[in-house]
Amino acid sequence: MSTGEIILITGANTGLGLEIVKALCQSAQRYHILVGCRDISKGQAAIKSVEAAYPSTSSTLSPIQVDLAIDNSIETAINTISAQHKQLDALINNAGAQYDTKISTGEMTIRECFNASWDINVSGTEVLTTLAVPLLLKSSNPRLIFITSGTSTLAETESTATDVLKRLNTSPPAGWPKPPGIPIKAYRSAKCGLNMLMREWTKALANDGVKVWAVSPGFLATGLGGAGPDVLKKMGAVDPAIGGQFVVDVVEGKRDQDVGKAVRKDMIQPW
C-alpha cells in the first residue's frame, strides 16, 4: 500500500510545525509525514498526541531527528530519508528561532544573537535544502516551502497603517539609549534574508519542476520568542491552527499561481 506523498517538516513537534502536521492529518489526501525534531523523544510525544487526536487519519507519521545547527545531524537525516523513502515530495522549512530578548537579559551578546538567528533561520535551512533537493527531484510534484514572517517585508517597514505596524515601525524619541521596543531586529533581518534565499531557489529550480514559495503564516500565538501565547493573543495574534491550514493549502496546490512569491493567506506579501 502506498504511504502517500512524503513530507518533511522541520521543527514539527511544537508551534506552527505541529499545527501543519495536524492539518495534514485532517486532509482528505494521504501523506507520510516526517516529523522533524531536535529531540527524538519530543517528536515521538508529538506524534502520539496527533494520532490520539486524529485516530481516523489515513496519513502516517514518523519522527526524524534534525538539528539545523549541526551539519552531521542534517546529513544523517537526509541519508535516512533517502534510504527509507527514496524521495521527498515536499520540504517545509519551518524550524526557526528568535533570540532577540536574550540580549537584554545578558544571555547573549549582540553578535551571538545575530549569528544564532542567521545560523538557524537561514544558514541551517540552506544546508538542509541543498542536501534535500536531489530527493525532491525524484518526485513528480515537488514542493519547497520556506516559512517566513510578516515582519520580514522591507516595503512595510515604511508603514504605520495598522496597530501591528505602528508597534513595529514607529520611531522612538531622540536620544540614547533608545527604548527596547519590540525585540525582533535579528529575527526580522534573518527572515528578510530567508526571502532572498527562497528567490535564489526559485531561480535555481525553475527548469526542474519544483514549485517554491515563502509562506507568511500570519501573526500566530505560538511560543516563538518566549513571550507566550497569551501575551501574543493580547497583541492580536491568532490561533496557530489557522497558519497550519494555510501551509497545507499551499502544499495542496491552492497557491500554485503564486510560485516564487512570499504569500499570505489573503494576498502576496510585498517585498
More confident of the two residues 181 and 109: 109
Please give the pLDDT value at position 181. 79
User: What is the per-residue pLDDT for 1?
Assistant: 38
Question: 166: how many CB neighbours lie within 10 A of its CB?
Answer: 11
The reported pLDDT for the residue numbered 35 is 98
Domain residue spans of the chain: 5-268
**pLDDT of the residue at 7:** 98
Look at the block and give the residue holding cell 513528480: 140
* 191 assigned to active site: yes
C-alpha cell at 269: 506579501
**Beta bridge partner(s), residue 213:** 145
Render pLDDT for 103-129 as a digit per residue (tens, 0 to 9). 999 999 999 999 999 999 999 999 999
Q: Active-site residue among 31, 99, 187, 216?
A: 187
Q: Does domain 5-268 have CATH number 3.40.50.720?
A: yes
How many C-beta atoms surround the C-beta of residue 10 within 10 A?
A: 27
Q: What average pLDDT does the segment 199-208 reach?
A: 98
The catalytic position among 22, 191, 211, 261 is 191
What does the pLDDT look like over 66-109, one tens digit per residue? 999 999 999 999 999 999 999 999 999 999 999 999 999 999 99
The CB-based long-range contact list for 183-186 (8 Å cut-off, 24+ gap) reads: 183/100, 183/101, 183/103, 183/104, 183/225, 184/98, 184/100, 184/151, 184/225, 185/100, 186/98, 186/99, 186/100, 186/113, 186/114, 186/117, 186/118
153 DSSP β-pair partners = none
Q: Does the global pTM surpass 0.85? A: yes
* Residue 182 predicted with pLDDT over 90: no
Residue 149 known to be catalytic: yes
| Mean pLDDT, the chain, whole residue set | 93
- For residues 237-256, average pLDDT: 90
Is residue 224 predicted with pLDDT exceeding 60?
A: no
Query: Can you give the pLDDT at residue 2?
Result: 53
User: Of residues 123, 149, 152, 216, which has the active-site annotation?
Assistant: 149
Checking DSSP bridges between strand 262-264 and strand 267-268, what pairing results, if any? antiparallel
Q: What is the pLDDT of residue 218?
A: 74
Rounded to an integer, the average pLDDT of 24-42 is 97
Cell numbers for 117, please give them. 538567528
Assess whether 152 carries a catalytic annotation: no
CA 135 to CA 91: how far, in whole Å? Answer: 10
The pLDDT of residue 59 is 97
Give me the pLDDT at residue 72, please: 98
